[in-house]
Structure 1
Amino acid sequence: MAQLREAIAQTTTFCTQKGIDFAVLESAQGFVRTKFWADAVECIIINDDVKKTYLSLAGNVNKLYKAILPDPTANEFTAINAHLQTIKDQILAEVPEVDVSEVIEQVEELLDLSITAGEFVITKSHSQRIDLSQIDFVALKNKFASTDYQRTETEKLKIAIAQKLQQMVRLNKTRINYLDKFQQMIAEYNADSRNVQIFFNDLINFAQELGVEDKRAIAQNLIEEELAIFDLLTKPEIKLTKQEEQEVKQVAKELLKTLKQEKLVLDWKKRQQTRASVEVAIKDNLDKLPQSYSDELYEQKCQEVYQHIYENYSGPGSIYDAG
């Protein structure tokens, strides 16, 4: 009981410091009550640290409250716990629990292995493709400018970008520079180096950049998995003529076709013979790269492409099949 009382005091003090006055609820009805919850969410999602702290505090209160049930003495805490959990539920409803830092960590772990128009509804499914090109950015800017809940709108956009970026980097690890830029933007916002209006505009611009990148395969006359290999072969920036660039594209296309039709059999990674066959096919195809690729660069690219294939192709299927 003492633990619960202390946890509630700590959480309500935290809320008071953020401008949330629960006394308002004593007489609030209808729209005023609805507005209270929306205002409370806006007060809490100032930055990632404040949001995480509140969710942790409210979660702890609820855990301690449930621990003393069905003791009648719990009735003393029912109302305040309900208020705290309503704010928590409202936060998770408005901006689903997609921890951007965790998304970044997941992508970085992945990398380590290799050395909506309308209301902007975000689902928790990471498998669902988010198409940034479908967002009406003008309408989104107008909505932001006219709302009292700018932090909420900013958080929604940030989460949508985080999910999209996770998808994009998973499919093509050379996009890590976008992840670095996104992480820096968030860090500066959390450190109060930029206000919510600037951060929102930066997110809009960044989302538009990602939208262009997301369509780059089409612009290059490649499919997404061909683009991943093409980027591995050409990044960091390698000086190529237009003709040489076309030759590299052709190598990427032919390599993928050969691997998928002949080499990537079921459980190919489990047998030394099939792994060697894949490695030989990669070396044979990359041997057709332009003369501007030195022997050393050729060997490096063979290793990088093999690692990419090993990580992302389980057999006839791959991570690209879902997208």
Structure 2
Amino acid sequence: MKKREVADISQVMVELQSVVDQAVVVRKIKEAGSDSGNRFDISKIDFDRLKQEFARRSDKKTQLMSLEQAIADQIERMMRKNPMRSDFYERFQKIIENYNQETDRATIERTFEELLNLVQDLNREEQRGVRENLDEDQLAIFDLLIQKHNDLNTQQRNRVKAVAADLLAKVKAILAELDRWWEKDNAKALVRNTIEHALYGEGDRTLPDTYELEDLGILTDSVYRWVLETYAEAG
């Protein structure tokens, strides 16, 4: 199968209307403040009906391959924004691995259902920043900061969010003053120091007491690598 240049789960779902006739009901929504055009609201899809109608089709493998490619591309894009989403990639790989071991009708239908469940979870993940009141980059830093502190209460989580937002603002301010910073050791050191100082914080923008001093060095390295991968331009 020829790889889509830009596969989009929402568009694949729209194409699957031919599989389910009128079972898939979608509406276009305009992303506020976005110039990316219209997208389809995946939450409006009748997934249960979609599964039922898929079971009746004779071209299941073709439909499955389209969905598989779209999900693979979607996960790749999401992981570029936030490396802490690797669990979605691992889950996807496991689904495909199980499918490749046996491709009878029952396996194809089960795989389709598992992929649809994954699509719904990916959609919820893409909306998580809104629920956390963070933009995509703030959310990525927040996830890096809490990866080993999943037992934080609401107040502690809010403090980490404040640190993440403050850290990102300070990093962006520094980067705006630097030219091709990723090519210069002194500039890279300045960026790393900015991250480190922001993690120590001040006032209400300090990490909770559950964070140990040795955590800060590890977190500084993790956030710096993310900044380098996200904001350094190639070439």
**Which residue number in structure 1 is paired with residue 219 of structure 2?**
301
Taking structure 1 as the reference length, the TM-score comes to 0.57
1:227 matched to 2:139? The reply is yes
**Which residue number in structure 1 is paired with residue 183 of structure 2?**
270
1:285 matched to 2:198? The reply is yes
Structure 2 Cα separation of the partners of residues 313 and 270 of structure 1:
12
Query: What is the SS of the residue equivalent to 1:289?
Result: coil
Taking structure 2 as the reference length, the TM-score comes to 0.76
**Which residue number in structure 2 is paired with residue 207 of structure 1?**
119
Contact 1:263–1:278 under 8 Å retained in 2: yes
Q: Residue deviations 1:211-255, cap 9 Å, x none? A: 111111111100011100000000134321211110110111111
Structure 2 Cα separation of the partners of residues 132 and 205 of structure 1:
15
Shift of 1:120: 5.2
Unaligned runs of 5+ in 2: 5-9, 18-35, 201-205
Shift of 1:273: 2.3
Structure 2 Cα separation of the partners of residues 206 and 177 of structure 1:
11
1:180 matched to 2:90? The reply is yes
Q: Residue deviations 1:41-82, cap 9 Å, x none? A: xxxxxxxxxxxxxxxxxxxxxxxxxxxxxxxxxxxxxxxxxx
Contact 1:229–1:252 under 8 Å retained in 2: yes
**Which residue number in structure 1 is paired with residue 65 of structure 2?**
155
**Which residue number in structure 1 is paired with residue 172 of structure 2?**
260
Structure 1 Cα separation of the partners of residues 109 and 119 of structure 2:
15
**Which residue number in structure 2 is paired with residue 118 of structure 1?**
14
Structure 1 Cα separation of the partners of residues 214 and 161 of structure 2:
20
Contact 1:279–1:306 under 8 Å retained in 2: yes
Contact 2:54–2:60 under 8 Å retained in 1: yes
**Which residue number in structure 2 is paired with residue 45 of structure 1?**
none
Shift of 1:267: 0.5
Contact 2:43–2:120 under 8 Å retained in 1: no
| Residue number among 133, 153, 156 corresponding to 2:42 in the alignment | 133
Query: What is the SS of the residue equivalent to 1:195?
Result: helix
Unaligned runs of 5+ in 1: 1-91, 99-115, 122-126, 319-323
Query: What is the SS of the residue equivalent to 1:247?
Result: helix
Structure 1 Cα separation of the partners of residues 101 and 192 of structure 2:
47
| Residue number among 314, 317, 320 corresponding to 2:232 in the alignment | 314
Query: What is the SS of the residue equivalent to 2:88?
Result: helix
Larger Rg: 1 or 2? 1
Distance 1:298 1:131, change over 3 A: farther
Contact 1:120–1:156 under 8 Å retained in 2: no
Contact 1:226–1:256 under 8 Å retained in 2: yes
Query: What is the SS of the residue equivalent to 2:65?
Result: helix
Structure 1 Cα separation of the partners of residues 231 and 135 of structure 2:
16
Q: Residue deviations 1:109-143, cap 9 Å, x none? A: xxxxxxx242159xxxxx99987736723563354
Shift of 1:210: 1.0
State the superposition RMSD in angstroms.
Answer: 2.8
* Amino acid paired to 2:228: Y
Structure 2 Cα separation of the partners of residues 254 and 213 of structure 1:
23
1:97 matched to 2:10? The reply is no
Contact 1:132–1:208 under 8 Å retained in 2: no
Kindly indicate which of the two structures has a greater share of residues assigned to helix: 1
